[in-house]
Structure 1
Amino acid sequence: MERTTLVSALTTTSSPFPWTVSIVIPAFNEAATIGGVVQEVHTRYPELEIIVVDDHSADATVEIATAAGARVITRPYNIGNGAGVKTGVRAATGEIVIIMDGDGQHNPADIERLLSYIGDYDMVIGARSRSGQENWLRWLGNSALNGLGSYLTGMEMQDLTSGFRAFRRSILLDYIHLLPNQFSWPTTSALAFAKAGYHVRFEPIAMQRRQGGRSKQKLLKNGFKFTIIILRIISLFNPIRVFMPVSGFFFVLCIISYVLGALNDNNWLHLPPTALFCLIATMFFFCFGLLAETIAALRFERIRQ
């Protein structure tokens, strides 16, 4: 179906969809905004399934979302935003799933644009501009993740941490076990699609002002978690592109140390301790990189089978 035809179908409730669509909204203490979000989505797209996954909120999120017309799934205890996404995707009945936040930042009108590219693309991500992100620290951290993701996948990643996206449910179900239960699920899911050879598009969107207070994400305020996310991404997606350059770096240091030591002692048969250390590091990172790459390749190959 042509893109213009699809957009027209989306705006006409009597027109059939080329596929079924489910909206999944993970929520935690979003009583102030969740009702308005669900109502606006339902008003624009009354034929779509709307699922709110409540992560054991302490407020009236469940009651308000239910009254607004959403199918609500409640958790007996708090796990995390990523776990809510996984629960919603598993419970969804649509062939295409759209994830959006419950705090009112994502404009439901953009759903049409994201869906219009499904077909040519398997995942369409709403890419925020610099002004659409809360502060320069968050923008800096997201830019670092985008750069790393681009390097690992070989394609430009513009906004890996954006939670507003549409994708084929059947594909994500193959990789859903890779998604973390916390806030790094958007990065992991986008890289999984790209690593497996599926088509990913970043579509520019405008963010609306947050209505429900400050973001619950503390990515850059917790350096340990940020480091874990980086290491996890490296180990899951193309680790050889990271470990091989590191191995090469230590090999160069080994050669330099050996030459300098030989010139200083006038003995070309002696291997200085620093050169030996760099040689061991070279071999370690080389072997570890090959092992990690083999494990990553087997993981994706087993899924494709």
Structure 2
Amino acid sequence: MGTDETQKLPSTAPSSRDTPVDVSIVIPARNEAGSLVGLLPKLVSACPGAEVIVVNDGSTDHTIEVCAKHPVSIVSHPYPKGNGAAIKSGARAARGRVIIFMDADGQHDPDDIPRLLAKLDEGYDMVVGARQRGSQANVGRGLANGVYNGLATYMTNHRIEDLTSGFRAVRADLFREFLYLLPNGFSYPTTITMAFFRAGYAVAYEPIHAARRQGTSHLRPLKDGVRFLLIIFKIGTLYAPLKLFAPLALAFFLIGTGWYGYTFATIGRFTNMSALMLTTSFIVFSMGLISEQITQLMYRPDSSRQSDPG
């Protein structure tokens, strides 16, 4: 079984892993050498003194060679594990009390980092770079994110301005509490946002403009379209399952009782359709209750989970 490898690149990384730093910047990268050429020097210039960690997620291009030319550390996966897995590897390796997560594809501007940190200093536990109008890759992606934001706002009773943004600043110790929840794929921003709200941590949004990505996206429209639909249900089950299941149960109940009223008035019978709808209503509501209890257990404090040996 392969293991992740943390490399100290020549003349760049701090001499001791025990040396404390205030800010760590974690950049998951898979075949992003072309964009890292421009991003890393700008990042080092904009954030002097910060620890920069590039997580090489099984790249087959020149990612390692590009990183070797700059004052960064690199964590390498022996094969591609996914964006979320790279995020978790970077979080484990980071020494800063605050971690900045940003993409390697050139969408996120290092000059925005001081604004995220300033917002964090106001007392928040996580600050998300909220992409403004015109920042979405395409109309479909923008509409999908709008649906996610609206559903998450309903579930949490907090305004969610950008649920899926990968550009965020977070307190490292709090982030690591939820490593066991994070998926290895692309939906880690959704999961960590809902987890922070569920745990009662303070989340803020800072407006940013995301540039068009450099290189080729790793998203696949058909497969990832289904995955994004599943995210909608994940939003509900991660935060408050009853808020998702109860309206569905009520809808089935009203359909069942309405149909029963109609058939009783017209033919004087209680039909199989009414029985099916009412039974479905009971099952859906029961699923919501069970999911609510499971969710309570998921967020139970447990120091043994925070290390997430993964």
TM-score w.r.t. length of structure 2: 0.87
Cα drift, residue 227 of structure 1: 2.4
Cα drift, residue 44 of structure 1: 2.1
Matches within 5 A, 1:51-200: 51-119=53-121, 120-200=123-203
State the SS of the aligned residue for 1:68: coil
Does 2:281 align with 1:278? no
| AA of the residue aligned to 2:237 | S
State the SS of the aligned residue for 1:260: helix
2:32/2:215 contact within 8 Å kept: no
Distance 1:112 1:59, change over 3 A: same
Gaps of 5+ in 2: 1-20, 305-310
Does 2:291 align with 1:289? no
Worse-matched range after superposition: 73-82 or 217-226: 217-226
Structure 2 counterpart of 1:11: none
Distance 2:190 2:286 in 1: 27
Distance 2:29 2:150 in 1: 29
2:27/2:102 contact within 8 Å kept: yes
Cα drift, residue 225 of structure 1: 1.4
Structure 2 counterpart of 1:8: none
Q: Percent identity at matched positions?
A: 41
1:141/1:220 contact within 8 Å kept: no
Distance 2:296 2:39 in 1: 40
Distance 2:25 2:239 in 1: 28
2:39/2:104 contact within 8 Å kept: yes
Structure 1 counterpart of 2:13: none
Structure 2 counterpart of 1:261: 263
Structure 1 counterpart of 2:5: none
Structure 1 counterpart of 2:250: 248
| AA of the residue aligned to 1:287 | S
TM-score w.r.t. length of structure 1: 0.89
Alignment length, in residue pairs? 284
State the SS of the aligned residue for 1:23: strand
State the SS of the aligned residue for 1:73: strand
1:137/1:220 contact within 8 Å kept: no
State the SS of the aligned residue for 2:33: coil
State the SS of the aligned residue for 1:133: coil
Distance 1:219 1:158, change over 3 A: farther
Runs of 4+ in structure 1 off by over 4 angstroms are none
Cα drift, residue 219 of structure 1: 5.7
1:138/1:220 contact within 8 Å kept: no
Distance 1:220 1:111, change over 3 A: farther
| AA of the residue aligned to 1:160 | L
| AA of the residue aligned to 2:190 | T
| AA of the residue aligned to 1:181 | N
2:194/2:238 contact within 8 Å kept: no
Gaps of 5+ in 1: 1-18
Cα drift, residue 262 of structure 1: 1.0
Distance 2:105 2:285 in 1: 46
| AA of the residue aligned to 2:164 | T
Distance 1:41 1:224 in 2: 35
| AA of the residue aligned to 2:288 | G
| AA of the residue aligned to 2:134 | S
1:220/1:226 contact within 8 Å kept: no
- Residues 122-157 of structure 1 show CA distances to partners (whole Å, capped at 9, x for unaligned) of 110111112011110000111111111111111111
| AA of the residue aligned to 2:275 | L
Cα drift, residue 236 of structure 1: 1.8
2:256/2:278 contact within 8 Å kept: yes
- Residues 29-51 of structure 1 show CA distances to partners (whole Å, capped at 9, x for unaligned) of 11112132121111122211000
CA RMSD in angstroms, aligned pairs only: 1.8
Distance 1:219 1:291, change over 3 A: farther
Distance 1:57 1:133 in 2: 25
Distance 2:298 2:167 in 1: 27
Distance 1:284 1:132 in 2: 42
Distance 1:42 1:128 in 2: 23
1:31/1:61 contact within 8 Å kept: yes
1:21/1:96 contact within 8 Å kept: yes
